[in-house]
Structure 1
Amino acid sequence: MTRARELNENENETDVLVIGGGTGGYSTALRAASLGLKVVLAERDKVGGTCLHRGCIPSKAMLHAAELVDGIAEARERWGVRAAVESVDWPALAATRDDIVARNHRGVAGHLAHASVEVAYGSAELIGPRSARINGYGEVAARRGIVLATGSRPRMLPGLTADGRRVVTSDDALFAPGLPRSVLVLGGGAIGVEYASFHRSMGADVTLVEAADRLVPLEDVDVSRHLTRGLKRRGIDVLAEARLLDAAVGDDEVVATVRTSRGETRTVRAERLLVAVGRAPVTDGLGLAAAGLTVDDRGHVAPTDWSRLETSVPGLHVVGDLLPPPSPGLAHASFAEGLLAAETLAGLRSPAVDYAAVPRVTYSSPQTAAVGLTEAQARDAGHDVAVNTMPLTAVAKGMVHGQGGMVKVVAERGGRVLGVHLVGPHVSEMIAESQLIVGWDAEPADVALHIHAHPTLSEAVGEAFLTLAGRGLHQQP
């Protein structure tokens, strides 16, 4: 494995010290180094962080495998292709996943080495506003400042303990032994929905429990409705507005007691209980008090100046999962935050992160993708809104895929687009266009001028904007 050169004990002063080598941390380090700054990156595990080693990359690799399994079922059931999945070779599947992770890891380490970023492999503790002690390397002083990028860990419900076998968190779910025949997933946010979708594709009986009144409760209500319909159609038992009352963990199964939305008590038996109820910032052992910092009631470190991501202590900046909302705690947002923090420390005047234009994606089947305001958020903010919803099956390519879904556009009446919301196959790849539409304050008429290829799924996006612009073709206003 290519590694960045380790910190020499005599080189105890740097321009920028980054604590945490996940997406926010290593993007900060790479950008600062490209601007000519001397950078030390402290990482106590592996560069790449949760996203690369336990989250985004391995989970999406596995979801791709699930998509292949689903495709075989579709080929047989819809298209007359006499094919079947004989079995899933879990070790082979896991080996491919691990190879993808390893190659990405080598790539990140290689980028850091090429940029001459000094990587100190050890835990770091702040001992002042511009200095830290790194385990095994001594003290490091930062002339320009320090960037905190220590990430997050899964939250666990009281009374439950993850054992990596019967009770697992989102961090270790894909690394648990084998494929279970039944799974109870606690948490109907993006992570919980993705894991429910994966296990269902792999043949498991899946029960998905969400305490809120709908799945992905931060998304538009129509996104939740279409997603829930799609998951139920696949055979997933969705229990919204439900709560876990108790769980008995045995050698062979977990027996859980769940209160449903109707107040009824229900017993759910599953080989595995997967807890995906959110993530908590990692600040233990970081020495925040020594630098003059505190955390909020959710454990986040809030910046005083969001345009610089700088805390109340000058020179101390925060990126990634340590940040409270409006930062969404997404890897691609932390890339942008890392760039901003690095450029600020280099003395550049950079634009603040536009969190309203950060796309949000759930990689389940069906997928969801959104950017900007939901219809409810737009109305609550006082906008006079114009809304158009178009089924994906209203265009030919949507009929070909046969999975349902929709495009929903929320705009100011006579003005700019405020939000775009998608549900259906491949919408994670379709959201980029809408990100630009929202980020550049485009109006429906602006989008309607541009021709979308026919037949494609993205054609439904173009058609939705045509209708809002008063030029409806296949969809009438």
Structure 2
Amino acid sequence: MSQYDVIIIGAGPGGYYSAIRAAQLGLKVAVVEAKHLGGICLNWGCIPTKALLRSAEVYDHMKHASAYGLTAEKFGFDIGAVVKRSRGVSGQLATGVGFLLKKNKVDVIWGRATIKAPGKIAVAAAEGAPKGALGGGDYEAKHIVVATGARPRVLPGLEPDKKLIWTYFEAMVPEIMPKSLLVVGSGAIGIEFASFYKTMGADVTVVEVLPQIMPVEDHEIAGIAQKQLTKQGLKIFTETKVTKLDKGADSVTATLEFKDGKTQQITVDRVISAVGVVANVEGLGLEALGVKIERGVVVTDAYGRTNVPGIYAIGDVAGPPMLAHKAEHEGAICVEAIAGKHPHAMDKLKIPGCTYCHPQVASVGLTEKKAKDAGYDIKVGRFPFIGNGKAIALGEPDGLVKTIFDKKTGQLLGAHMVGAEVTELIQGFVIAMNLETTEQELIDAVFPHPTLSEMMHESVMDAEGRAIHI
């Protein structure tokens, strides 16, 4: 029977990342995977969707070439080629994950794991094992880390059938481009697909049951994003439910129910169900071992430890925010603690969130409402993209950078952005929050010109009434 210091169940971002980190710390490590190295994020989520959105961005630039003094004629797209590029990007990175695991001497066990007891797992062999992977059998480890991720949530009446009603799996590999589309749910997944399909020419309707799209984002930022998306032609209904889906031969008729109780029917080629995800806690033997599960996720402490000694959980399976970068960082904390190091516990308020629609949305920390609800006396700074030279030169003058500070201490409580490339800019504020940088220290920092990052500086200065370019 093979014995390890650590066995990690799941080779998604949290799993492979923590496996490599554990190996770096001198531990003997194996990772168990049943489908694909890199998990959902790399194969069916974060990465391939960004490849699709990049194709859409380039296509949109071609449509507006004249705005840049350019001429583009007889351009179009081949959806098969767009999808092929996206799958190629994922394939390249999945191969890279395999190389990194091998380089770090992490054993890959190919199959489905069940925890039989603390320190013992049984693996049922699965097809498609990569070269050099171990197979089914019994394995032992002092520490077992569950990193099994999540899957699309299914609501009654909205069950995906892979033909007319899609999850993100089917939405990423369309055989033909639908002429019309209904997206149910306006979180990051829903809005990104809505943005992609609209840019590629589909007539897109988005339905959200809550009062605003992108419900976790700052209300003001979400409002600006909705205004821009609507301007592009997206139809957006908030405080609206999809109460029924009637499937035809090659279309779906959806019944929408509005806040006032009135209903409306729309017929579309396809429906994307993007109503969140559910943690993969089943079939692992957790319940039999008494591992505590609440609200569908494994309960852990700040270091990934469950209530059963020797069993840990990280990433989506350990609860929100269900983001790849949260899983990676959580995994590193977990295995560093196992190795006897003393890592800082995860501070979930300092985990950034990004949505890669057009315009992009990015944030970290408290929203304005949550800061007020928490009892802070706040100062808010704002700076619009229209006041920034680089944004105007890029042809991207729509957007806003918003910063929230504690008036008493100058502490940065939150930063929220909508506009071009904000998913790259947000990390500046993440670093500032981690370093406990004050408002004055940010004002004293020199930002390069001409850059979009200058808007971050101006937003901070605006909180003091010192913005220069508005």
Deviation at 1:463, TM superposition (A): 0.9
Please give the secondary structure, in 1, of the residue aligned with 2:169.
coil
- Find 1:366's aligned residue among 334, 344, 359: 359
Answer yes or no: is the 8 Å Cα contact 1:69–1:85 preserved in 2.
Answer: no
| 1-structure distance, mates of 2:397, 2:264 | 31
| 2-structure distance, mates of 1:388, 1:466 | 7
Tell me the alpha carbon deviations over residues 399-432 of structure 1, each in whole angstroms, 9 at most, x when there is no partner: 3324411011110004211000000011111111
Match of 2:35 in 1: 45
Task: Say if 2:220 is the partner of 1:222.
Answer: yes
| 1-structure distance, mates of 2:432, 2:224 | 23
| 1-structure distance, mates of 2:81, 2:396 | 30
Deviation at 1:84, TM superposition (A): 4.6
Match of 1:63 in 2: 53
Please give the secondary structure, in 2, of the residue aligned with 1:162.
coil
Answer yes or no: is the 8 Å Cα contact 1:19–1:25 preserved in 2.
Answer: yes
Deviation at 1:88, TM superposition (A): 1.1
Tell me the alpha carbon deviations over residues 262-318 of structure 1, each in whole angstroms, 9 at most, x when there is no partner: 43211111111000000000122111123221321x310011x21x21011112111
- Find 2:281's aligned residue among 260, 278, 283: 283
Question: Partner letter of residue 392 of structure 2?
Answer: M
| 1-structure distance, mates of 2:96, 2:232 | 37
| 1-structure distance, mates of 2:236, 2:466 | 39
- Find 1:393's aligned residue among 380, 386, 399: 386
Match of 1:120 in 2: 109
Deviation at 1:187, TM superposition (A): 0.2
Please give the secondary structure, in 2, of the residue aligned with 1:102.
helix
Match of 1:151 in 2: 149
The size of the alignment, in residue pairs, is: 458
Match of 1:26 in 2: 16
Alignment of 1:35-184 (within 5 A): 35-76=25-66, 78-84=67-73, 86-136=75-125, 137-143=136-142, 145-184=143-182
Please give the secondary structure, in 1, of the residue aligned with 2:156.
coil
Deviation at 1:81, TM superposition (A): 2.6
Tell me the alpha carbon deviations over residues 23-69 of structure 1, each in whole angstroms, 9 at most, x when there is no partner: 11111111111111111111111110000110001001000111111
Deviation at 1:214, TM superposition (A): 0.5
Question: Partner letter of residue 349 of structure 2?
Answer: A
Which sits farther off after the overlay, 435-444 or 367-376? 435-444
Question: Partner letter of residue 80 of structure 2?
Answer: P
| 2-structure distance, mates of 1:445, 1:471 | 11
Task: Say if 2:347 is the partner of 1:354.
Answer: yes
Match of 2:441 in 1: 446
Match of 1:404 in 2: 398
Tell me the alpha carbon deviations over residues 84-134 of structure 1, each in whole angstroms, 9 at most, x when there is no partner: 563211222122111111110111000001111111110000111221111
| 2-structure distance, mates of 1:140, 1:289 | 20
Which sits farther off after the overlay, 392-401 or 100-109? 392-401
Answer yes or no: is the 8 Å Cα contact 1:407–1:421 preserved in 2.
Answer: yes
Answer yes or no: is the 8 Å Cα contact 1:257–1:266 preserved in 2.
Answer: yes
TM-score scaled by length of structure 2: 0.95
Match of 1:472 in 2: 467
Question: Partner letter of residue 315 of structure 1?
Answer: G
Answer yes or no: is the 8 Å Cα contact 2:396–2:420 preserved in 1.
Answer: no
| 2-structure distance, mates of 1:177, 1:164 | 12
Deviation at 1:209, TM superposition (A): 0.4
Question: Partner letter of residue 396 of structure 1?
Answer: G
Question: Partner letter of residue 58 of structure 1?
Answer: P
| 1-structure distance, mates of 2:415, 2:89 | 32
Answer yes or no: is the 8 Å Cα contact 2:157–2:243 preserved in 1.
Answer: no
Answer yes or no: is the 8 Å Cα contact 2:6–2:27 preserved in 1.
Answer: yes
Q: CA RMSD in A?
A: 1.4
Identify unmatched segments of 5+ residues in structure 1. 1-9
The share of aligned pairs that are identical, in percent, is: 37
Answer yes or no: is the 8 Å Cα contact 1:164–1:173 preserved in 2.
Answer: no
Deviation at 1:80, TM superposition (A): 4.2
Please give the secondary structure, in 2, of the residue aligned with 1:60.
helix
- Find 1:333's aligned residue among 323, 326, 351: 326
| 2-structure distance, mates of 1:238, 1:452 | 37
Match of 1:7 in 2: none
